[in-house]
Amino acid sequence: MIKDSLDNAHNYDHLHKNFRMVFEILQSLNFDALEEGHIELDGDYVYINVDVAQGRTKNNAKLEAHRRYIDIQIPFDEPERIGVAAIDELQNADGEFDIEQDIIFYNDEIKECITVNPREFVIFFPEDAHAPNIDCPKHHRKLVAKISVKPNEEKPTL
């Protein structure tokens, strides 16, 4: 997991071949003008979802993790608390991994949270579990960029 300001995004270009492209786009966006929806950048390999997420309490949040995609999450208007954990420390999966949705949930207690402010981002890699939208307004605006961990394959797989 990495948390930083969009002003420092260039420091992470070397971590993935698509990070530079994504961060240049993110830095150029007018967040106030973005409407909820899907922005395709490179098919299934790189895309952005603009969401109006439901805020929740820490007790109602579940940790989630992905295998196929790296998440870059940015809140628009309000700070967002996000529960975080390393998946190798979690023991209580809530069902099996959903291949189609690229997600697994965990029932483990959320022991640690970070706060991400507008104009800051957090990167979650496949080894990072996260529980977004904690203690946020009821309808919280945010952006989630999804970047395939296997950009050179014919189709992203697990």
The predicted-structure confidence for 28-71, as pLDDT tens digits, reads as follows 988 888 889 999 998 889 999 999 988 899 999 999 999 999 99
Q: How far apart are CA 111 and CA 102, in angstroms?
A: 24
Q: Which amino acid is at 106?
A: Y
Q: How far apart are CA 110 and CA 62, in angstroms?
A: 8
For the segment 67-82, the average pLDDT, to the nearest whole number, is 94
Which of the four pLDDT bands, split at 50, 70 and 90, describes residue 22?
A: very high
Q: What pLDDT does residue 135 have?
A: 87
Q: Is the pLDDT of residue 154 over 70?
A: no
Q: Is the pLDDT of residue 155 over 50?
A: no
Place of tokens 């800051």: 120
Q: Is the pLDDT of residue 156 over 90?
A: no
Contacts of 113 (CB under 8 A, 6+ apart): 58, 81, 82, 83, 84, 134
Q: What pLDDT does residue 70 have?
A: 97
Model confidence pTM above 0.85: yes
Place of tokens 């997420």: 53
Q: What ranges do the domains of the chain cover? A: 2-148
Query: Which CATH code fits 2-148?
Result: 2.60.120.370
Q: How far apart are CA 69 and CA 127, in angstroms?
A: 11
Q: What pLDDT does residue 140 have?
A: 87
Render pLDDT for 80-135 as a digit per residue (tens, 0 to 9). 999 999 999 999 999 999 999 999 999 999 999 999 999 999 999 999 999 999 98
- Between residues 150 and 42, the one the model is more confident about: 42
Q: What pLDDT does residue 136 have?
A: 81
